[in-house]
Structure 1
Protein backbone atom coordinates (compact mmCIF):
# COMPACT_ATOMS: atom_id res chain seq x y z
CA UNK A 1 0.00 0.00 0.00
CA UNK A 2 1.50 3.32 -1.06
CA UNK A 3 0.55 6.76 0.19
CA UNK A 4 1.21 10.26 -1.08
CA UNK A 5 0.20 13.71 0.07
CA UNK A 6 -2.26 15.62 -2.09
CA UNK A 7 -0.82 18.44 -4.20
CA UNK A 8 -1.11 21.95 -2.74
CA UNK A 9 -4.52 23.56 -3.25
CA UNK A 10 -6.03 26.92 -2.47
CA UNK A 11 -7.56 26.68 0.99
CA UNK A 12 -11.28 27.34 1.34
CA UNK A 13 -12.21 29.90 4.01
CA UNK A 14 -12.71 28.49 7.50
CA UNK A 15 -16.01 29.12 9.31
CA UNK A 16 -16.37 28.85 13.08
CA UNK A 17 -18.71 26.13 14.34
CA UNK A 18 -19.88 24.66 17.64
CA UNK A 19 -20.79 21.04 18.31
CA UNK A 20 -22.30 19.68 21.52
CA UNK A 21 -21.80 16.16 22.86
CA UNK A 22 -25.05 15.75 24.80
CA UNK A 23 -24.81 13.18 27.61
CA UNK A 24 -26.99 11.27 30.02
CA UNK A 25 -26.32 8.49 32.52
CA UNK A 26 -27.45 4.92 31.96
CA UNK A 27 -27.33 1.98 34.36
CA UNK A 28 -23.97 0.75 33.08
CA UNK A 29 -22.33 3.97 31.90
CA UNK A 30 -23.13 6.95 29.73
CA UNK A 31 -25.10 7.62 26.57
CA UNK A 32 -24.66 10.26 23.87
CA UNK A 33 -27.30 11.80 21.63
CA UNK A 34 -26.59 11.25 17.93
CA UNK A 35 -28.27 12.41 14.75
CA UNK A 36 -28.14 10.85 11.30
CA UNK A 37 -28.11 13.82 8.96
CA UNK A 38 -30.48 13.84 6.01
CA UNK A 39 -28.85 12.34 2.93
CA UNK A 40 -28.00 14.75 0.15
CA UNK A 41 -27.30 17.68 2.48
CA UNK A 42 -24.50 19.94 1.30
CA UNK A 43 -22.41 19.07 4.33
CA UNK A 44 -22.10 15.65 6.03
CA UNK A 45 -25.23 14.26 4.40
CA UNK A 46 -26.01 10.77 5.73
CA UNK A 47 -23.37 11.03 8.44
CA UNK A 48 -23.98 10.24 12.12
CA UNK A 49 -23.02 13.32 14.11
CA UNK A 50 -23.52 15.25 17.35
CA UNK A 51 -25.81 18.31 17.37
CA UNK A 52 -24.05 21.38 16.06
CA UNK A 53 -23.50 23.83 13.25
CA UNK A 54 -21.93 27.04 12.09
CA UNK A 55 -21.68 30.19 14.17
CA UNK A 56 -23.97 33.05 13.07
CA UNK A 57 -23.04 36.71 13.31
CA UNK A 58 -26.00 37.11 15.69
CA UNK A 59 -24.43 34.60 18.09
CA UNK A 60 -22.10 37.36 19.25
CA UNK A 61 -25.10 39.25 20.75
CA UNK A 62 -23.77 40.94 23.87
CA UNK A 63 -27.16 41.93 25.30
CA UNK A 64 -28.46 38.52 26.34
CA UNK A 65 -28.51 37.47 30.00
CA UNK A 66 -25.61 35.13 30.79
CA UNK A 67 -24.90 32.82 33.74
CA UNK A 68 -21.71 30.88 34.34
CA UNK A 69 -18.10 31.35 33.26
CA UNK A 70 -17.73 34.70 31.45
CA UNK A 71 -16.56 34.99 27.83
CA UNK A 72 -13.03 35.70 29.10
CA UNK A 73 -12.89 32.21 30.65
CA UNK A 74 -14.08 30.57 27.45
CA UNK A 75 -11.64 32.70 25.46
CA UNK A 76 -8.75 31.28 27.48
CA UNK A 77 -9.97 27.71 26.97
CA UNK A 78 -10.34 28.00 23.20
CA UNK A 79 -7.53 30.53 22.59
CA UNK A 80 -9.80 33.09 20.94
CA UNK A 81 -10.92 36.63 21.73
CA UNK A 82 -13.86 37.23 24.06
CA UNK A 83 -16.34 38.16 21.34
CA UNK A 84 -15.68 34.95 19.44
CA UNK A 85 -15.80 32.94 22.68
CA UNK A 86 -19.25 34.34 23.50
CA UNK A 87 -20.43 33.56 19.96
CA UNK A 88 -19.17 29.96 20.20
CA UNK A 89 -21.00 29.36 23.47
CA UNK A 90 -24.18 30.98 22.18
CA UNK A 91 -24.00 28.92 18.97
CA UNK A 92 -23.57 25.73 21.01
CA UNK A 93 -26.71 26.48 23.02
CA UNK A 94 -28.67 27.61 19.95
CA UNK A 95 -27.78 24.58 17.83
CA UNK A 96 -28.60 22.20 20.68
CA UNK A 97 -32.05 23.76 20.98
CA UNK A 98 -32.67 23.85 17.22
CA UNK A 99 -31.50 20.31 16.50
CA UNK A 100 -32.74 18.34 19.51
CA UNK A 101 -34.98 20.62 21.59
CA UNK A 102 -32.65 20.85 24.58
CA UNK A 103 -32.62 24.37 25.99
CA UNK A 104 -29.66 25.29 28.17
CA UNK A 105 -31.40 28.29 29.73
CA UNK A 106 -33.50 29.18 32.73
CA UNK A 107 -35.62 31.91 34.25
CA UNK A 108 -32.81 32.65 36.67
CA UNK A 109 -29.08 32.02 36.83
CA UNK A 110 -29.58 28.88 38.92
CA UNK A 111 -32.63 27.28 37.25
CA UNK A 112 -33.26 25.44 33.97
CA UNK A 113 -36.52 25.33 32.07
CA UNK A 114 -38.28 21.97 32.06
CA UNK A 115 -41.22 22.52 29.70
CA UNK A 116 -39.58 23.30 26.37
CA UNK A 117 -42.71 22.56 24.32
CA UNK A 118 -43.98 26.08 25.04
CA UNK A 119 -41.07 27.30 22.89
CA UNK A 120 -41.80 25.09 19.86
CA UNK A 121 -42.79 28.05 17.67
CA UNK A 122 -39.63 29.89 18.69
CA UNK A 123 -37.56 26.83 17.90
CA UNK A 124 -38.96 26.74 14.39
CA UNK A 125 -38.37 30.46 13.94
CA UNK A 126 -34.76 30.01 15.05
CA UNK A 127 -34.17 27.21 12.59
CA UNK A 128 -35.66 29.34 9.79
CA UNK A 129 -33.47 32.28 10.92
CA UNK A 130 -36.53 34.44 11.56
CA UNK A 131 -35.15 35.52 14.94
CA UNK A 132 -31.83 35.40 16.73
CA UNK A 133 -31.12 33.30 19.79
CA UNK A 134 -30.51 36.46 21.80
CA UNK A 135 -33.89 37.86 20.77
CA UNK A 136 -35.58 34.60 21.75
CA UNK A 137 -33.95 34.51 25.18
CA UNK A 138 -34.56 38.18 25.93
CA UNK A 139 -38.21 38.18 24.85
CA UNK A 140 -38.93 35.14 27.02
CA UNK A 141 -36.97 36.41 30.02
CA UNK A 142 -34.45 33.56 29.86
CA UNK A 143 -30.83 33.40 31.00
CA UNK A 144 -28.24 31.51 28.94
CA UNK A 145 -26.72 28.85 31.23
CA UNK A 146 -23.14 28.79 29.97
CA UNK A 147 -22.20 26.84 33.09
CA UNK A 148 -24.07 23.81 31.69
CA UNK A 149 -21.48 23.52 28.93
CA UNK A 150 -17.88 22.31 29.17
CA UNK A 151 -15.11 22.85 26.60
CA UNK A 152 -13.93 19.56 25.13
CA UNK A 153 -11.89 19.69 21.90
CA UNK A 154 -11.15 21.61 18.69
CA UNK A 155 -11.03 20.16 15.17
CA UNK A 156 -10.35 22.05 11.95
CA UNK A 157 -11.41 20.71 8.56
CA UNK A 158 -8.42 19.76 6.38
CA UNK A 159 -7.14 21.99 3.60
CA UNK A 160 -8.57 20.69 0.34
CA UNK A 161 -12.18 20.43 1.48
CA UNK A 162 -14.84 22.54 -0.23
CA UNK A 163 -16.31 23.53 3.15
CA UNK A 164 -14.05 24.06 6.13
CA UNK A 165 -14.95 24.57 9.79
CA UNK A 166 -13.02 25.43 12.91
CA UNK A 167 -15.24 23.40 15.25
CA UNK A 168 -15.15 23.68 19.02
CA UNK A 169 -16.64 20.66 20.76
CA UNK A 170 -18.52 21.03 24.05
CA UNK A 171 -20.07 18.52 26.43
CA UNK A 172 -23.38 19.07 28.20
CA UNK A 173 -25.87 16.98 30.17
CA UNK A 174 -29.52 16.63 29.21
CA UNK A 175 -31.28 18.78 31.87
CA UNK A 176 -33.75 17.10 34.19
CA UNK A 177 -37.25 17.28 32.77
CA UNK A 178 -36.11 17.87 29.19
CA UNK A 179 -36.02 15.23 26.47
CA UNK A 180 -33.99 15.34 23.28
CA UNK A 181 -35.92 14.73 20.07
CA UNK A 182 -35.46 14.67 16.32
CA UNK A 183 -37.82 17.51 15.39
CA UNK A 184 -35.42 19.16 12.97
CA UNK A 185 -35.29 19.28 9.19
CA UNK A 186 -31.62 18.26 9.29
CA UNK A 187 -32.03 14.82 10.90
CA UNK A 188 -33.31 11.64 9.28
CA UNK A 189 -33.16 9.82 12.63
CA UNK A 190 -31.90 10.41 16.15
CA UNK A 191 -31.24 8.37 19.27
CA UNK A 192 -29.33 7.83 22.48
CA UNK A 193 -26.47 5.36 22.26
CA UNK A 194 -23.62 4.32 24.47
CA UNK A 195 -20.28 5.23 22.89
CA UNK A 196 -19.48 1.52 22.66
CA UNK A 197 -22.69 0.65 20.80
CA UNK A 198 -22.29 3.62 18.46
CA UNK A 199 -18.81 2.38 17.57
CA UNK A 200 -20.15 -1.16 17.14
CA UNK A 201 -22.66 0.11 14.57
CA UNK A 202 -19.87 1.91 12.78
CA UNK A 203 -17.66 -1.17 12.73
CA UNK A 204 -20.57 -3.16 11.28
CA UNK A 205 -20.97 -0.62 8.51
CA UNK A 206 -24.49 0.46 9.47
CA UNK A 207 -23.40 4.05 10.18
CA UNK A 208 -20.68 6.37 8.92
CA UNK A 209 -18.69 8.47 11.39
CA UNK A 210 -16.47 11.38 10.47
CA UNK A 211 -13.01 11.26 12.07
CA UNK A 212 -13.80 13.90 14.74
CA UNK A 213 -17.04 12.15 15.73
CA UNK A 214 -15.30 8.79 15.84
CA UNK A 215 -12.48 10.25 17.92
CA UNK A 216 -14.84 11.79 20.49
CA UNK A 217 -16.84 8.56 20.82
CA UNK A 218 -13.67 6.53 21.22
CA UNK A 219 -12.45 8.83 23.97
CA UNK A 220 -15.78 8.69 25.82
CA UNK A 221 -15.53 4.91 26.19
CA UNK A 222 -13.03 5.58 28.98
CA UNK A 223 -15.68 7.22 31.22
CA UNK A 224 -18.14 5.33 33.41
CA UNK A 225 -20.41 8.25 34.36
CA UNK A 226 -21.44 11.74 33.34
CA UNK A 227 -19.83 13.04 36.54
CA UNK A 228 -16.49 11.61 35.42
CA UNK A 229 -16.78 13.44 32.09
CA UNK A 230 -17.70 16.74 33.73
CA UNK A 231 -14.80 16.42 36.16
CA UNK A 232 -12.35 16.29 33.26
CA UNK A 233 -10.59 19.46 32.13
CA UNK A 234 -8.89 18.55 28.85
CA UNK A 235 -6.12 20.58 27.31
CA UNK A 236 -7.59 21.80 24.05
CA UNK A 237 -5.10 21.89 21.20
CA UNK A 238 -6.44 22.40 17.65
CA UNK A 239 -6.36 19.28 15.49
CA UNK A 240 -6.21 19.86 11.75
CA UNK A 241 -6.02 16.58 9.83
CA UNK A 242 -4.25 16.26 6.49
CA UNK A 243 -5.61 14.69 3.32
CA UNK A 244 -3.50 12.15 1.45
CA UNK A 245 -3.77 9.41 -1.17
CA UNK A 246 -3.59 5.67 -0.45
CA UNK A 247 -3.61 3.52 -3.58
CA UNK A 248 -5.62 6.15 -5.41
CA UNK A 249 -8.09 6.80 -2.63
CA UNK A 250 -8.23 10.00 -0.58
CA UNK A 251 -7.92 9.51 3.16
CA UNK A 252 -7.41 11.76 6.14
CA UNK A 253 -4.47 11.73 8.53
CA UNK A 254 -5.23 12.50 12.17
CA UNK A 255 -4.21 11.29 15.65
CA UNK A 256 -5.32 7.67 16.10
CA UNK A 257 -6.15 7.20 12.43
CA UNK A 258 -4.95 3.58 12.27
CA UNK A 259 -7.82 2.32 14.40
CA UNK A 260 -10.26 4.36 12.34
CA UNK A 261 -9.27 2.79 9.05
CA UNK A 262 -8.72 -0.70 10.43
CA UNK A 263 -11.97 -0.87 12.38
CA UNK A 264 -14.76 0.04 9.97
CA UNK A 265 -16.53 -2.27 7.56
CA UNK A 266 -16.46 0.59 5.06
CA UNK A 267 -13.39 2.80 5.66
CA UNK A 268 -13.91 6.39 4.65
CA UNK A 269 -12.36 6.70 1.24
CA UNK A 270 -12.73 10.00 -0.41
CA UNK A 271 -16.05 11.89 -0.17
CA UNK A 272 -14.41 15.28 0.29
CA UNK A 273 -17.49 16.83 1.91
CA UNK A 274 -17.51 14.46 4.88
CA UNK A 275 -15.45 16.18 7.56
CA UNK A 276 -16.63 18.00 10.62
Structure 2
Protein backbone atom coordinates (compact mmCIF):
# COMPACT_ATOMS: atom_id res chain seq x y z
CA UNK A 1 0.00 0.00 0.00
CA UNK A 2 1.18 3.51 -0.78
CA UNK A 3 2.90 4.93 2.30
CA UNK A 4 1.59 8.44 1.56
CA UNK A 5 -1.98 7.10 1.70
CA UNK A 6 -1.31 5.23 4.96
CA UNK A 7 -0.04 8.38 6.64
CA UNK A 8 -3.02 10.62 5.84
CA UNK A 9 -3.63 13.00 8.78
CA UNK A 10 -6.80 12.47 10.78
CA UNK A 11 -8.95 15.60 10.56
CA UNK A 12 -11.56 16.39 13.26
CA UNK A 13 -15.06 16.60 11.78
CA UNK A 14 -18.72 16.92 12.75
CA UNK A 15 -21.73 15.36 11.04
CA UNK A 16 -25.42 15.90 11.77
CA UNK A 17 -28.16 13.32 11.28
CA UNK A 18 -31.34 15.34 10.68
CA UNK A 19 -34.63 13.52 11.29
CA UNK A 20 -38.30 14.32 10.79
CA UNK A 21 -41.56 12.50 11.62
CA UNK A 22 -42.99 10.21 8.93
CA UNK A 23 -45.01 7.00 8.65
CA UNK A 24 -44.39 4.06 8.95
CA UNK A 25 -40.84 5.11 9.96
CA UNK A 26 -39.28 8.51 10.51
CA UNK A 27 -37.07 9.96 7.76
CA UNK A 28 -33.50 11.22 7.58
CA UNK A 29 -32.12 13.94 5.30
CA UNK A 30 -29.34 12.59 3.09
CA UNK A 31 -27.24 14.42 0.51
CA UNK A 32 -25.51 12.94 -2.51
CA UNK A 33 -21.91 14.04 -2.98
CA UNK A 34 -20.63 14.93 -6.43
CA UNK A 35 -18.87 12.13 -8.30
CA UNK A 36 -15.69 14.22 -8.49
CA UNK A 37 -15.32 14.45 -4.70
CA UNK A 38 -12.10 12.94 -3.37
CA UNK A 39 -13.95 11.63 -0.32
CA UNK A 40 -17.20 9.63 -0.71
CA UNK A 41 -17.69 10.65 -4.35
CA UNK A 42 -21.22 9.85 -5.54
CA UNK A 43 -22.26 8.54 -2.12
CA UNK A 44 -25.27 9.53 -0.03
CA UNK A 45 -24.14 11.10 3.25
CA UNK A 46 -25.39 13.12 6.20
CA UNK A 47 -24.52 16.85 6.23
CA UNK A 48 -21.13 17.52 7.78
CA UNK A 49 -17.51 18.42 7.31
CA UNK A 50 -14.22 19.19 8.98
CA UNK A 51 -13.99 21.32 12.10
CA UNK A 52 -12.34 24.72 11.54
CA UNK A 53 -10.20 26.63 14.04
CA UNK A 54 -12.79 29.43 13.98
CA UNK A 55 -15.43 27.05 15.36
CA UNK A 56 -13.59 27.22 18.71
CA UNK A 57 -13.47 31.05 18.74
CA UNK A 58 -14.36 32.19 22.30
CA UNK A 59 -16.07 35.25 20.83
CA UNK A 60 -18.84 32.91 19.67
CA UNK A 61 -19.81 32.06 23.24
CA UNK A 62 -22.39 34.88 23.62
CA UNK A 63 -24.06 33.44 20.51
CA UNK A 64 -24.41 29.88 21.86
CA UNK A 65 -27.54 28.62 23.57
CA UNK A 66 -27.22 27.05 27.00
CA UNK A 67 -26.94 23.28 27.04
CA UNK A 68 -29.76 21.18 28.47
CA UNK A 69 -29.18 19.04 31.59
CA UNK A 70 -29.21 15.89 29.45
CA UNK A 71 -26.35 17.33 27.38
CA UNK A 72 -23.87 17.51 30.26
CA UNK A 73 -22.62 13.98 29.55
CA UNK A 74 -22.41 14.86 25.85
CA UNK A 75 -20.23 17.86 26.61
CA UNK A 76 -17.96 15.79 28.85
CA UNK A 77 -17.57 13.13 26.16
CA UNK A 78 -16.57 15.75 23.58
CA UNK A 79 -13.86 17.14 25.85
CA UNK A 80 -12.14 20.51 25.48
CA UNK A 81 -13.25 20.84 21.85
CA UNK A 82 -16.95 20.54 22.67
CA UNK A 83 -17.75 24.04 21.36
CA UNK A 84 -15.97 23.48 18.06
CA UNK A 85 -17.77 20.17 17.53
CA UNK A 86 -21.24 21.61 18.11
CA UNK A 87 -20.56 24.79 16.16
CA UNK A 88 -19.06 22.92 13.19
CA UNK A 89 -22.11 20.66 13.05
CA UNK A 90 -24.45 23.65 12.93
CA UNK A 91 -22.30 25.53 10.41
CA UNK A 92 -21.92 22.57 8.06
CA UNK A 93 -25.64 21.78 8.26
CA UNK A 94 -26.41 25.32 7.11
CA UNK A 95 -23.75 25.37 4.39
CA UNK A 96 -24.51 21.92 2.96
CA UNK A 97 -28.24 21.46 3.60
CA UNK A 98 -29.58 24.99 4.03
CA UNK A 99 -30.99 24.17 7.48
CA UNK A 100 -30.04 26.71 10.14
CA UNK A 101 -30.21 25.57 13.77
CA UNK A 102 -30.34 28.99 15.39
CA UNK A 103 -32.64 31.34 17.28
CA UNK A 104 -33.61 34.92 16.49
CA UNK A 105 -33.15 37.55 19.19
CA UNK A 106 -36.80 36.95 20.13
CA UNK A 107 -36.00 33.32 20.98
CA UNK A 108 -37.74 31.69 18.01
CA UNK A 109 -36.09 29.35 15.50
CA UNK A 110 -35.15 31.16 12.32
CA UNK A 111 -36.76 30.66 8.93
CA UNK A 112 -34.41 30.14 6.00
CA UNK A 113 -37.01 31.49 3.60
CA UNK A 114 -35.46 34.91 4.15
CA UNK A 115 -33.36 35.93 1.14
CA UNK A 116 -30.79 37.50 3.46
CA UNK A 117 -30.07 34.15 5.11
CA UNK A 118 -29.90 32.36 1.77
CA UNK A 119 -27.28 34.83 0.59
CA UNK A 120 -25.36 34.41 3.85
CA UNK A 121 -25.31 30.64 3.32
CA UNK A 122 -23.48 31.09 0.04
CA UNK A 123 -21.08 33.64 1.54
CA UNK A 124 -20.23 31.25 4.39
CA UNK A 125 -19.76 28.39 1.97
CA UNK A 126 -17.39 30.46 -0.18
CA UNK A 127 -15.47 31.86 2.80
CA UNK A 128 -16.64 35.41 2.09
CA UNK A 129 -17.83 35.82 5.68
CA UNK A 130 -17.45 33.90 8.93
CA UNK A 131 -19.90 32.47 11.42
CA UNK A 132 -19.17 35.06 14.12
CA UNK A 133 -19.91 37.95 11.77
CA UNK A 134 -23.03 36.16 10.52
CA UNK A 135 -24.34 35.72 14.08
CA UNK A 136 -23.60 39.33 15.06
CA UNK A 137 -25.17 40.87 11.95
CA UNK A 138 -28.34 38.75 12.25
CA UNK A 139 -28.56 38.69 16.08
CA UNK A 140 -28.51 34.90 16.13
CA UNK A 141 -27.97 32.36 18.88
CA UNK A 142 -26.80 28.96 17.69
CA UNK A 143 -29.18 26.27 18.95
CA UNK A 144 -26.78 23.88 20.66
CA UNK A 145 -29.71 22.67 22.77
CA UNK A 146 -31.37 21.23 19.65
CA UNK A 147 -28.46 19.04 18.52
CA UNK A 148 -27.34 15.99 20.51
CA UNK A 149 -24.03 14.12 20.42
CA UNK A 150 -24.54 10.49 19.37
CA UNK A 151 -21.24 8.71 18.72
CA UNK A 152 -17.78 9.02 17.19
CA UNK A 153 -16.14 7.25 14.23
CA UNK A 154 -12.59 7.37 12.88
CA UNK A 155 -11.95 6.64 9.19
CA UNK A 156 -9.84 3.47 8.75
CA UNK A 157 -6.21 3.85 7.62
CA UNK A 158 -5.45 3.66 3.93
CA UNK A 159 -8.25 5.98 2.78
CA UNK A 160 -7.55 9.12 0.68
CA UNK A 161 -9.07 11.23 3.49
CA UNK A 162 -9.31 10.35 7.17
CA UNK A 163 -11.65 11.96 9.69
CA UNK A 164 -12.36 11.70 13.40
CA UNK A 165 -16.06 12.43 13.14
CA UNK A 166 -18.46 13.32 15.93
CA UNK A 167 -21.99 12.40 14.91
CA UNK A 168 -24.92 14.43 16.21
CA UNK A 169 -28.69 13.97 15.86
CA UNK A 170 -31.29 16.73 15.60
CA UNK A 171 -34.94 17.05 14.64
CA UNK A 172 -35.54 19.17 11.55
CA UNK A 173 -36.92 22.59 12.48
CA UNK A 174 -40.30 23.55 11.09
CA UNK A 175 -40.67 26.46 8.65
CA UNK A 176 -37.36 25.69 6.97
CA UNK A 177 -36.73 24.20 3.54
CA UNK A 178 -33.65 22.08 2.95
CA UNK A 179 -31.58 22.15 -0.22
CA UNK A 180 -28.26 20.72 -1.39
CA UNK A 181 -25.60 23.26 -2.34
CA UNK A 182 -25.32 22.21 -6.00
CA UNK A 183 -21.53 21.98 -5.90
CA UNK A 184 -20.24 19.57 -3.23
CA UNK A 185 -23.67 17.93 -3.04
CA UNK A 186 -25.86 17.42 -6.10
CA UNK A 187 -29.02 15.82 -4.71
CA UNK A 188 -30.95 15.57 -1.45
CA UNK A 189 -33.66 13.25 -0.23
CA UNK A 190 -35.71 12.47 2.86
CA UNK A 191 -35.63 8.71 3.33
CA UNK A 192 -36.31 6.24 6.14
CA UNK A 193 -33.42 4.17 7.51
CA UNK A 194 -35.23 1.02 6.39
CA UNK A 195 -35.61 2.19 2.79
CA UNK A 196 -32.06 3.52 2.55
CA UNK A 197 -30.64 0.19 3.72
CA UNK A 198 -32.90 -1.74 1.36
CA UNK A 199 -31.91 0.36 -1.66
CA UNK A 200 -28.25 0.06 -0.71
CA UNK A 201 -28.52 -3.72 -0.73
CA UNK A 202 -29.91 -3.42 -4.27
CA UNK A 203 -26.92 -1.24 -5.30
CA UNK A 204 -29.28 1.69 -5.90
CA UNK A 205 -28.23 3.94 -3.00
CA UNK A 206 -24.48 4.13 -2.51
CA UNK A 207 -23.25 4.77 1.03
CA UNK A 208 -20.02 4.49 2.99
CA UNK A 209 -19.63 1.76 5.58
CA UNK A 210 -19.93 4.21 8.47
CA UNK A 211 -23.22 5.56 7.07
CA UNK A 212 -24.61 2.04 6.72
CA UNK A 213 -23.57 1.21 10.29
CA UNK A 214 -25.29 4.33 11.60
CA UNK A 215 -28.48 3.52 9.71
CA UNK A 216 -28.47 -0.05 11.03
CA UNK A 217 -28.54 1.38 14.55
CA UNK A 218 -31.14 4.02 13.71
CA UNK A 219 -33.33 1.43 12.00
CA UNK A 220 -34.26 -0.02 15.40
CA UNK A 221 -36.50 3.00 16.01
CA UNK A 222 -39.76 3.75 14.24
CA UNK A 223 -40.45 7.29 15.44
CA UNK A 224 -38.57 10.51 16.06
CA UNK A 225 -39.77 10.53 19.66
CA UNK A 226 -38.38 7.05 20.36
CA UNK A 227 -35.07 7.88 18.69
CA UNK A 228 -34.59 11.19 20.50
CA UNK A 229 -35.50 9.60 23.84
CA UNK A 230 -32.66 7.12 23.34
CA UNK A 231 -30.21 9.80 22.21
CA UNK A 232 -30.93 12.11 25.14
CA UNK A 233 -30.66 9.27 27.67
CA UNK A 234 -27.11 8.33 26.67
CA UNK A 235 -24.42 8.78 29.31
CA UNK A 236 -21.70 6.82 27.49
CA UNK A 237 -20.86 7.23 23.82
CA UNK A 238 -19.42 4.71 21.38
CA UNK A 239 -16.03 5.54 19.85
CA UNK A 240 -15.40 3.40 16.77
CA UNK A 241 -11.93 3.00 15.29
CA UNK A 242 -12.41 0.62 12.33
CA UNK A 243 -9.45 -1.02 10.59
CA UNK A 244 -9.10 -2.14 7.00
CA UNK A 245 -10.24 -5.67 6.23
CA UNK A 246 -7.36 -8.06 6.81
CA UNK A 247 -5.66 -5.93 9.46
Q: TM-score of the superposition, structure 1-length normalised?
A: 0.80
Seen in structure 2, the aligned counterparts of structure 1 residues 57 and 203 have a Cα distance that, compared at 3 Å, is same
- Structure 2, unaligned runs of 5 or more: none
Alignment CA distance shift 1:7-1:191 (3 Å): closer
The residue that corresponds to 1:23 in the other structure is: 19
Aligned length: 238
Q: Which of 90, 99, 108 pairs up with 1:93?
A: 90
Relative to structure 1, the CA distance from residue 48 to residue 163 in structure 2 (aligned partners, 3 Å threshold; closer, same or farther) is: same
Deviations 1:129-172 (A, max 9, x none): 11111221121100011011011110001122232100000001
Q: CA-to-partner distance for each residue in 1:9-48, whole Å, 9 max, x for gaps? A: 8532111000000000013220000111000112111111
Q: How does 1:215-234 map to 2 (within 5 A)?
A: 215-232=213-230, 233-234=233-234
Q: Which has the higher contact order (CA 8 A, sep 6+)?
A: 2
TM-score (norm 2): 0.89
Q: Check if 1:43 corresponds to 2:44.
A: no
Contact 1:174 1:180 in 2 (8 A): no
Gaps of 5+ in 1: 1-5, 246-252, 254-276
* Greater Rg by CA: 1
Name the CA distance, whole Å, in 2 between partners of 1:28 and 1:134.
40
Root mean square deviation, CA, Å: 2.2
Which of the two has greater helix per residue? 2
Q: Distance in 2 between matches of 1:195 and 1:20?
A: 15
Instruction: Check if 1:13 corresponds to 2:9.
Output: yes
- Which structure carries more strand by proportion? 1
Against the structure 1 CA distance between its residues 115 and 159, is the aligned structure 2 distance closer, same or farther, given a 3 Å change threshold?
closer
